[in-house]
Amino acid sequence: MKKTIAAVLLATLLGGAGGYAWVAYQNQAVEAGLLSRLVTLEEQLSTTKNELLGHTTYTDYLSVTKQALSAQMKFLAARVDREYVQVQHIERSVLKVPFDATVTVTYAVEYSFGYDLKPENFSVSGNGTGWSSNFGNRSWLHRPR
């Protein structure tokens, strides 16, 4: 009886060890496959980074761009012409006789303003598609006329 229990116990231990070895071997094969995929993806990532390097490094040169712009541009002026139409309906009664009139006034206004482009008055920044420049407050060159 003791020999039977010992044989069963030995068979169980050998079966467990064999099962563990089989699972470890299968996991090692899966790990090797995953590792080779990881190496391939890292190579593709490196290649893609090298291809996109020119598209992503422009933000490193934004301060130089700002200096170059400020050296070439000192003042930026703009003029906006707008035409306005004002319509007014007038009702009057003189000696209990009603009168109606419509007055239409058309006029044009010219707005002239400028931006002082000193380096401290504007900024150059990068966004997802390129770069943009933001100017400070505008100053009126003369009153609207």
Q: How far apart are CA 46 and CA 130, in angstroms?
A: 23
Instruction: Indicate whether 66 belongs to any domain.
Output: no
Q: Is residue 25 part of a domain?
A: yes
pLDDT at 112: 82
14 and 54 together in one domain:
yes
73: left (phi over 0), alpha (psi -120 to 50) or beta: beta
Do 53 and 81 lie in one domain? The reply is no
Average the pLDDT over 130-139 and give the result.
70
Q: Which has the higher per-residue pLDDT, 31 or 70?
A: 31
Residue 145 pLDDT greater than 60, yes or no: no
Instruction: Identify whether residues 80 and 128 lie together within a single domain.
Output: yes
Burial of 112 (0-12, 13-18, 19+ CB in 10 A): middle
Whether residue 78 is found in the same domain as residue 133: yes
Backbone angles phi, psi at 96, to 5 degrees: 65, 20
Structural domains in the chain (count):
2
In this prediction, residue 31 carries a pLDDT of: 85
Inside any domain, residue 9: yes
Q: Is residue 64 part of a domain?
A: no
| 3-class DSSP assignment, residue 90 | strand
- Angle among Cα 124, 128, 133 to the nearest 5 degrees reads 20
CB 131 within 8 A of CB 65: yes
What pLDDT score does 143 carry? 65
Query: Is the domain of 85 the same as that of 135?
Result: yes
Which domain, by its residues, includes 11?
2-58
**22 and 53 inside one domain:** yes
Q: Say if residue 84 is in the same domain as residue 131.
A: yes
The pTM (predicted TM-score) of the whole model is 0.32
Q: What residues does 90 pair with on adjacent strands? A: 101
Residue 89, φ and ψ in degrees, nearest 5: -95, 130
Kindly state whether residue 67 falls inside one of the protein's structural domains.
Answer: no
Is-contact 71 42, C-beta < 8 A?
A: no
Give the per-residue pLDDT at 110. Answer: 86
In angstroms, what CA-CA distances link 75 with 103, 121, 137, 143?
A: 42, 11, 13, 18
* Tens of pLDDT, residues 77-118: 778 888 999 999 888 887 778 888 888 999 898 888 777 777
Domain end call among 58, 82, 97: 58
Same structural domain for residues 134 and 91?
A: yes
